[in-house]
């Protein structure tokens, strides 16, 4: 029976399958998926052929004409290289290092001398400068002799090593006190400076040394920049320069200084600084001779910066016409005292205050160095307060160190005394500089 039943079931399914097939066909015709996938083709000329186009956007815009075939591309120009970074650094000049007897006694430790605590409050400026140049007003006491103050100075040997610890890199040494301890004191001073790694100029142990400027080399921005330092004094307080060593102290001779500056440049110096120890003391305005010297050095075109000493009070900081390439020359006519025992109790009030002159030097990779700007910073000594030296702006801003004895009115008066004379060419600097590279190389003069 089962075998006979199969044909009967086949006859029953056929009509059902037909109905289902018809329903599927009707559904497909209603759906028409081929119309949804179809996109119109661009019109073509009869017989033209083209590649299939990409699907159009929902809101097509008129088709742009096909671009012409590109011509062979010309080489694209290379990017303009950035100019090399110039070398930039600071040179700081300070006033007279003038240790009177009271300063020396204050620095005594029982088994020697330590001048660092006296000048430490100013050290951020000297350590922050790339090249710091002091004026060592006095010689050192020769071995076997005792230190002394005014009138025949002889500082303890420890002084120069302490200057190095405070960040100074070198000093001018030609002053009216250079021969206070005779030729032995002069020689011992230079020996001690050499031992401390400090440069020096203005006095000499040999004729060859006298002919050489003090050179400092600074590596900045891939360049080695050479700074030449020269120094000279108006005299030696009536003490004759030894006949056997006429070259021991460089005396002011403007033509000679210009010749030395030109020779230094010819030998590769990029910048020339001259320290001038001259003229009237205790006067806020430069003496006519100071102005004549500065203007002659500026007119020579060989000198970039003049640092003035000996006045023991601040004097103007000015930019003069002339200078190398006609770019001008800066002069600090008088930087006053750095460390001393002078103030209104013994002398004119301005002797308690000195200046730090900070010059910013720029040396392009393919051009000459120039002094781009000079700024001044006032420093002041507190004789009663353990001979400490302070940055005046710090005290005016409210700093009150433990040992300070100066009152607010004194501080204001000292600051006004600076403003009365310093002039308007250079602005005040109240923050210490920051080193821009490694310490300078001090090139030995001896040899």
Task: Tell me what pLDDT residue 81 has.
Answer: 74
Classify each residue of 143-152 as buried b or exposed e, where b means 16 or more C-beta atoms within 10 Å of its C-beta.
eeeebbbeeb
- Pick one of 3.30.450.40, 3.60.21.10, 3.90.1150.10, 1.10.645.10 as the CATH number of 87-442: 3.60.21.10
Task: Tell me what pLDDT residue 257 has.
Answer: 98
The tens digit of pLDDT for each residue in 248-265 reads 999 999 999 999 999 999
pTM: 0.82
Low-confidence ranges of the chain (pLDDT < 70): 1-79, 447
> What is the distance, to the nearest Å, from the Cα of residue 418 to the centroid of all Cα atoms in its chain?
24
Q: By C-alpha distance, which of 361, 213, 209 is closest to 275?
A: 213
Q: By C-alpha distance, which of 199, 175, 178 is closest to 187?
A: 178
Task: Tell me what pLDDT residue 57 has.
Answer: 40
Task: Tell me what pLDDT residue 92 has.
Answer: 99
Q: By C-alpha distance, which of 407, 286, 412, 282 is closest to 350?
A: 282
Are the C-beta atoms of residues 412 and 66 closer than 8 Å to each other? no
Task: Tell me what pLDDT residue 78 has.
Answer: 65
Query: Residue 444 is encoded by which pair of tokens?
Result: 């030995």
- Rounded to whole angstroms, the Cα distance separating 108 from 447 reads 35
Task: Tell me what pLDDT residue 64 has.
Answer: 44
- Rounded to whole angstroms, the Cα distance separating 314 from 390 reads 15
Task: Tell me what pLDDT residue 76 has.
Answer: 55
* 48, burial (CB in 10 Å: exposed 0-12, middle 13-18, buried 19+): exposed
* Residues paired with 354 in a beta bridge: 336, 379
Q: By C-alpha distance, which of 300, 289, 166, 161 is closest to 233?
A: 289
Cα–Cα distances in angstroms (integers) from residue 284 to residues 115, 274, 311, 396, 422, in the given order:
28, 21, 8, 22, 9
Domain ranges across the chain: 87-442
Task: Tell me what pLDDT residue 246 has.
Answer: 97
Task: Tell me what pLDDT residue 42 has.
Answer: 38
């Amino acid at each position: 029976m089962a075998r006979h039943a199969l044909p009967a079931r086949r006859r029953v399914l056929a009509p059902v399958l037909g109905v289902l097939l018809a329903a599927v066909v009707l559904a497909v015709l209603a759906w028409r998926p081929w119309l949804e996938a179809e996109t119109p083709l661009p019109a073509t000329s009869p017989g033209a052929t083209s590649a299939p186009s990409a699907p159009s956007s929902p809101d097509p815009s008129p088709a742009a004409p096909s671009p012409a075939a590109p011509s062979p591309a010309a080489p694209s120009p290379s990017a303009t290289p950035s100019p090399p970074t110039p070398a930039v650094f600071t040179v700081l000049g300070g006033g007279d290092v003038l240790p009177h007897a009271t300063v020396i006694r204050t620095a005594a430790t029982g088994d020697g001398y330590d001048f660092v605590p006296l000048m430490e409050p100013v050290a951020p400026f000297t350590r922050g400068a790339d090249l710091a140049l002091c004026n060592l007003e006095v010689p050192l006491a020769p071995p076997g002799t005792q230190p002394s103050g005014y009138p025949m100075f002889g500082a303890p040997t420890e002084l120069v090593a302490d200057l190095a610890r405070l960040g100074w890199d070198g000093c001018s040494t030609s002053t009216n006190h250079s021969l206070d301890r005779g030729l032995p004191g002069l020689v011992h001073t230079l020996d001690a400076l050499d031992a401390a790694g400090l440069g020096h100029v203005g006095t000499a142990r040999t004729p060859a040394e006298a002919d050489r400027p003090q050179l400092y080399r600074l590596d900045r921005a891939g360049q080695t920049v050479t700074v030449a330092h020269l120094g000279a004094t108006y005299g030696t307080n009536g003490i004759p320069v030894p006949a056997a060593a006429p070259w021991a102290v460089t005396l002011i001779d403007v033509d000679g200084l210009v010749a030395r500056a030109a020779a230094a440049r010819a030998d590769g110096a990029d910048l020339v600084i001259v320290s001038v120890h001259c003229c009237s003391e205790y006067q806020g305005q430069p003496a006519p001779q100071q102005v004549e010297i500065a203007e002659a050095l500026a007119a020579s075109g060989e000198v970039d910066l003049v640092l003035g000493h000996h006045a023991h009070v601040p004097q103007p900081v000015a930019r003069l016409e002339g200078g190398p390439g006609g770019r001008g020359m800066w002069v600090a006519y008088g930087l006053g005292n750095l460390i001393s025992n002078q103030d209104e109790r013994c002398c004119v009030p301005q002797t308690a205050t000195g200046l730090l002159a900070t010059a910013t030097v720029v040396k392009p990779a393919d051009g000459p160095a120039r002094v781009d700007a000079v700024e001044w910073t006032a420093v002041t000594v507190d004789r009663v307060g353990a001979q400490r030296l302070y940055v005046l702006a710090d005290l005016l801003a409210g700093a009150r160190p433990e040992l300070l004895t100066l009152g607010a009115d004194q501080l204001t008066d000292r600051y006004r005394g600076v403003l009365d004379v310093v002039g308007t060419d250079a602005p005040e600097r109240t923050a210490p500089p920051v080193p821009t590279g490694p310490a300078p190389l001090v090139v030995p003069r001896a040899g």
